[in-house]
Chains A and B, each alone.
Chain A
Amino acid sequence: MIRFEQVFKRYPGGREALSGVDMSMASGEMAFLTGRSGAGKSTMLKLIGLLERPTRGQVIVGGRNTGGIGRRQIPGFRRQIGMVFQDHKLLHDRTVYDNVALPLVIRGMRGKDIGKRVRAALDQVGLLHTEKVKPMTLSTGEQQRIGIARAVVCKPELLVADEPTGNLDPDLSLEIMRLFERFNEVGVTVLIASHDLHLIRQLGHRQIELSEGRLVAAEAGHG
């Protein structure tokens, strides 16, 4: 599903975020991307979502080399990936319903179909009752679940999350991770960047560890 081949990423200013990363993830797999802040976790996720381009090397997502995707093809590419962010990136002037519906609206789906899909997604994260409120009125954990609902509403085959539990207490974090596991169980490939080692060990999936832009270990998990 995801393959990194000798990927280097140097940001303007000389900082090298990734130096020669080789990594691959099968489809249907669930893995954690770990390492300290600045180890290159976010950069890897950005390369997958084409928010950044590698300086050298190849990033292959869903059998498709991202190097061959032009500017105009990026939107179509991104629609195949569900992305979850630490700060949720919700639109605060719109209702929960409108936020979750956005990916469907972008695809030009009709109102009736949108309603069904949005409610299904909200139901999956257990927040069906919040559809009419603004995200601001919800707790951080609930906002993150709305973010996840938005990421899965289009039924992507790949779900990528950058520190999705960064702002949550341990109980809520576990709840969010269980949610990701549930999507994984139905076949979605899930890659989560996190530095919450305690939580990760508890869940026991494969761990991909980065340190200063290099892969430390890519041991198979037992989950």
Chain B
Amino acid sequence: MAKPMARSKPRRAGPRRPDIRPKKRPKRQRSKDSPWPPIGGVLIDHARVLVASLGRLLSHPLSTLMTVAVIGIALALPAGLHLLVTNGRALGGHWEGASELSVYLREDVDLQAAKKIAAELRQDPAVAEVRLIDADEALAEFREYSGFGQALEVLPENPLPHVLVILPADDSRSAQAVDALRGRLADALPAELVQADTAWVARLQAMLELARRAVLLAGALLATGVLIIVGNTIRLDIQNRRDEIEVTKLIGATDAFIRRPFLYTGMWYGLLGGLLALALVGGSLLALDDPVRRLSGLYGSGFRLAGPGIAGGAGMVAAGIILGWTGSWVSATRSMRRIEPGGQQ
């Protein structure tokens, strides 16, 4: 009678006979009174709980939906902001790469002279490319795209100067080199104005860096928020099922067994929240795509909004799952300790 019970403590049986079969010990761990079921059993239980916890969530759809919505929005916000910054950087990079100089020639410089100046400039080692936009051409373009066509009709003559657009050579593209080139050209050429758009690019970069940090911060805060939301939801769930937990503990369930359904519930919350966040971000991109395309078209740019991509999307869902799992783990582990059937009286 006492023998099979004592088996659960291998240490006890150990010293009685010489242990010549060390492999016997792990086998005893799996004896009928081991609290840990065989691996196959655990897997079956995981599968069972995976399905059962989803079923439980779907059995009260409204509260599930609300929790999922909160998680989804909390995940979508940093993800959306991150996309905004990423796109901003792409846009900045777009322009920085072509940090061109615009030379607005004086009005008295005619087309012939402008062409001559352009030809001379092409010999300059600091210059990679020179493009001449003659006044008539510029006017036609302006009329077409700006929407001021009617107003331009009333002007007696073309108010625009000839413009040389200069792309500095590769080794002269730093902000300083471009600035030096600008000064040199302003002195040497019959120009009204030589403009180098480097300052605003630097400012944009600084702003984007700031925004990136802000997004990281917001992301961390919102992730904490998701942890708390999931944790609290699970805590309430555990409270509601307190009796059930006590009973299962009474008949010998391990903490891991009792915690399992709550972990999977948290995982489902996170997964569904992540998918919702993905849908929210995707929907927003779709809604913004057209206006962005029109706007960048107006600037003569082929810029398009970039989406999160497959990796980004998977990352969002994974973040949801990890946060859901972690939140429920912390909450369930804490609650599990408190609920002891002995303490009920």
- A residues whose Cβ falls under 8 Å from a Cβ of B: 1, 27-28, 42, 46, 49-52, 61-64, 68, 72-80, 83, 85, 89-91, 93, 102-103, 105-111, 150, 157, 187, 189
Contact = CB atoms under 8 A, between A and B. Distances in A.
A186 B257 CA distance: 31
Given A91-B244, A109-B41, A64 B8 contact: yes
A80 B6 CA distance: 11
B248 A102 contact: yes
A103 B5 CA distance: 17
B34 interface: yes
Most buried by B among A27, A75, A109: A75
A76 B10 CA distance: 13
B217 interface: no
B56 to A, nearest CB: 10
A111 to B, nearest CB: 8
Given A51-B341, A106-B257, A78 B250 contact: yes
Contacts, number: 108
A15 to B, nearest CB: 11
Contact of A107 (B1, B8, B41): B41
Interface in B146-200: none
Nearest to B9: A64
B1 A27 contact: yes
B247 A89 contact: yes
7 contacts: A1-B1, A64-B8, A64-B9, A75-B254, A102-B251, A106-B253, A189-B1
Contact of B342 (A46, A91, A93, A187): A46
Nearest to B341: A51
Contact of B248 (A46, A80, A106, A108): A106
B35 A79 contact: yes
B252 A106 contact: yes
Given A27-B2, A108-B38, A157-B1, A76 B8 contact: yes
A110 B342 contact: no
B341 A80 contact: no
B81 to A, nearest CB: 43
B206 interface: no
Contacts of B40: 108, 110
Interface of B: 1-6, 8-9, 32-38, 40-42, 44-45, 48, 243-244, 246-255, 257, 340-342, 345
A106 B4 contact: no
A107 B9 contact: no
Contacts of A80: 5, 8, 33
Given A51-B341, A110-B41, A89 B8 contact: no
Contacts of A110: 40-41, 44
A79 B41 CA distance: 16
A76 B33 contact: yes
Contacts of B37: 106-109
Contact of A75 (B3, B4, B247, B253): B253
Given A1-B1, A110-B44, A76 B247 contact: no
Nearest to A60: B2
A161 B255 CA distance: 24
A64 B257 contact: no
A64 B342 contact: no
Given A62-B5, A62-B6, A150 B252 contact: no
B58 to A, nearest CB: 16
Given A75-B249, A76-B35, A89-B250, 4 more contacts: A76-B36, A89-B246, A109-B41, A157-B1
